[in-house]
Structure 1
Amino acid sequence: MSETIDRLEEVIRIRRKESPKKSYVAKLRSKGRQQIAKKLGEEAVEVVIAAMLGKKKQVIAESADMMFHHLMLLADMGLSIHDVFAELESRKGMSGLEEKANRKDG
């Protein structure tokens, strides 16, 4: 699975540099981080709606869209999904309540 994500992150890195006329990634990037974040939010809402309606195939499709836009946002911020994985790893053995109480903004 990590290979798929690594490959997708590489595609996003490459396409960010292309012409907005040729690449959706470049087009969305040209509109700025706020638009990327907005699109991520829209996709997340679509996942929630599909889940509430019990539409499994739609949840899968919308989740893929959401993950794609999440990777785009991370790339725009100079981050990688592996930064997120490292954070998850650091929480191993910690309850969610404990993690939230220890969380620092930043």
Structure 2
Amino acid sequence: MGERTANVHDGDIGETLEGLAAVIHGRAGADPEASYTARLLQGPEDSLLKKLTEEATEVVMASKDHDHDHIRYEAADLLYHLLVTLEREGVTLAELAGELDARHR
């Protein structure tokens, strides 16, 4: 488990995800030695997928503990790694939003 984040305040999830997705996209061509994101995007596919699985499992374990702050922390890690996976596979947030919208209409 990572260290708890201090002073967390509510934010705008759409704005936050779009900003994070833009940062991830911008790091696609960065030096993998200098950028963890670039390492995930350019490295072996299995490394990223294992990390995505690990983060999902950590969300599950935090949820079993009913630990609100830990759930939030691990969910943020999961969303980051999911966004990296989407970038690697060429799936945009707009496409993801379209998929979700189509499911509830």
User: Same fold by TM (over 0.5)?
Assistant: yes
Alignment correspondent of 1:45: 57
C-alpha RMSD of the superposition: 1.1
* Structure 2 counterparts to residues 61-76 of structure 1, below 5 A: 61-76=73-88
Shift of 1:32: 2.4
Shift of 1:29: 2.1
Report the structure number with the largest CA radius of gyration.
Answer: 1
Query: Can you give the 5+ residue segments of structure 1 that lack an aligned partner in the other structure?
Result: 94-106
Structure scoring higher RCO (CA < 8 A, sep ≥ 6) equals 2
Alignment correspondent of 2:45: 33
Moved over 3 A (4+): none
Q: In structure 2, what is the Cα distance between the partners aligned to 1:38 and 1:32? A: 10
Task: Answer whether contact 1:33 1:73 (CA < 8 A) is retained.
Answer: no
Task: Answer whether contact 2:24 2:37 (CA < 8 A) is retained.
Answer: yes
Task: Answer whether contact 1:12 1:25 (CA < 8 A) is retained.
Answer: yes
Query: Can you give the 5+ residue segments of structure 2 that lack an aligned partner in the other structure?
Result: 1-12
Task: State the percentage of identical aligned residues.
Answer: 33
Candidates 3, 15, 18, aligned match of 1:3: 15
Alignment correspondent of 1:22: 34
Residues 17-56 of structure 1 deviation map (CA, whole Å, 9 limit, x = unaligned): 1101110001122322222121111000000000001111
Higher helix proportion: 1
Q: In structure 2, what is the Cα distance between the partners aligned to 1:87 and 1:50? A: 28
The letter for the 1-side match of 2:46 is Q
Alignment correspondent of 1:103: none
